[in-house]
Structure 1
């Protein structure tokens, strides 16, 4: 989607991590590594604990979901983002965290996909696009982000709706920012994914002044509470 070796802050070069030295599984975010992430967010934005957690979640969920969202949207191939198969490090100062995927991460595909006949052990064939989206939800939300959300709730008072609103906007933005090179209507892809995740009521697709689709949030990431307040373009809070 972005060029084979494009450097995106937040994702490993080429996405896959062939040498895991220096990387840690994101499953560690349920323990001390989550405290390190939240503390890094607090220092970066000079934020109160609840705002630091909301902004850390917003950044993390965008980069985490991006490969699965664009894999589905472009090729109907979904990497299954278990917390064991997604790796992280904090060595790059540009993003809050850098994520990458194990080279043998399982991938869900349709029967019509050439990978379905490959015999590769990491390829999981599912019968329909609806089943593919359910694999997307199960790996991204049920098994990865929901435990992380619960761990965040153990540390700060922060509404589930607030956090899931950032997930919804991240999924929508991922598709819209790549719309020029994706097959099919962006609105259909976004609505299908958001409905599968159960967060379709948290954002709305609206036309901007130039007639291009944009994302209007119905929740806030709390960036307006920072010492230097920021109101994001699609925020439900108007400046």
Structure 2
């Protein structure tokens, strides 16, 4: 979709065959390795603990959501983003972190998808499009990001609304970035995803300077608190 299979926050080709140096996301969700990720963010941006956690979450949720939401929007094929199947490393200092999927990751499809007849153990056939969105939410949010959010809140005091705003904007930005090659209607795709995740009240899609859709956030990722303050495009904080 982006003209390459080598994106800075995802493993090349998305799948991780050699897991040396990677950790399963369960080690972040259970808090075991979370302090290392937050510390990496703190040093990368010279950020306070709160801003480091907010920015680490923003980066993590964007790269985690991208395969799921684009799989759904482009082909109605959803890799289930269970924490046990997501692999992470944060030793490469170009991006803050890199995510990939185990080859055994389950992919949910509709009954009309050719994969539904493949008999592959990694393929899960669901009843309809509503169920496809439900399994995306269950794997990505309920079983992965929600407990990760709780683990982050055990480390620093950050509101759930602040963090979920970054998830909402990340989902919207992911679909907008691929709008030129995605079939269907961008607004409706984003709306369906955000509604399924129950974060549709945290952003708005508004016309940009040349009429293109842009994301207007209702919460802030705290980048404005950095030593070199940054006010992101679409931030709810307006520069003076």
Q: TM-score per shorter chain, which class?
A: over 0.9
- Report the CA distance between 1:227 and its aligned residue: 1.2
* Residue 111 of structure 2 corresponds to residue 100 of structure 1: no
- Please give the secondary structure, in 1, of the residue aligned with 2:132: helix
Question: Where do 4+ consecutive residues of structure 1 move more than 4 Å?
Answer: none
Distance 1:164 1:89 in 2: 23
Match of 1:7 in 2: 6
- Report the CA distance between 1:104 and its aligned residue: 1.2
Match of 2:213 in 1: 213
Match of 1:18 in 2: 17
Distance 1:180 1:64 in 2: 21
* Residue 166 of structure 2 corresponds to residue 166 of structure 1: yes
Q: Do the aligned residues in 1 keep the contact of 2:85 with 2:102 (CA within 8 Å)? A: yes
* Residue 83 of structure 2 corresponds to residue 74 of structure 1: no
Distance 1:75 1:211 in 2: 27
- Please give the secondary structure, in 1, of the residue aligned with 2:12: strand
Q: Do the aligned residues in 1 keep the contact of 2:41 with 2:53 (CA within 8 Å)? A: yes
- Please give the secondary structure, in 2, of the residue aligned with 1:180: coil
- Please give the secondary structure, in 2, of the residue aligned with 1:154: helix
Distance 2:63 2:178 in 1: 14
- Greater Cα offset, 211-220 or 91-100: 91-100
Give TM-score scaled by structure 1 length: 0.98
How many residues are paired up?
238
Distance 1:46 1:20 in 2: 30
Distance 1:6 1:117 in 2: 27
- Please give the secondary structure, in 2, of the residue aligned with 1:70: helix
- Report the CA distance between 1:21 and its aligned residue: 2.0
Match of 1:230 in 2: 230
- Report the CA distance between 1:27 and its aligned residue: 0.6
Distance 2:78 2:212 in 1: 27
Give TM-score scaled by structure 2 length: 0.97
Q: CA deviation digits over 1:5-43, x for unaligned, max 9?
A: 532111000001122222110110122310000011111
Distance 2:103 2:2 in 1: 19
Distance 2:75 2:94 in 1: 30
Unaligned runs of 5+ in 2: none
- Please give the secondary structure, in 1, of the residue aligned with 2:120: coil
Match of 2:178 in 1: 178
- Please give the secondary structure, in 1, of the residue aligned with 2:42: helix
- Report the CA distance between 1:183 and its aligned residue: 0.2
- Report the CA distance between 1:76 and its aligned residue: 0.2
Residues 11-90 of structure 1 aligned to structure 2 (within 5 Å): 11-29=10-28, 30-90=30-90
Distance 2:157 2:21 in 1: 32
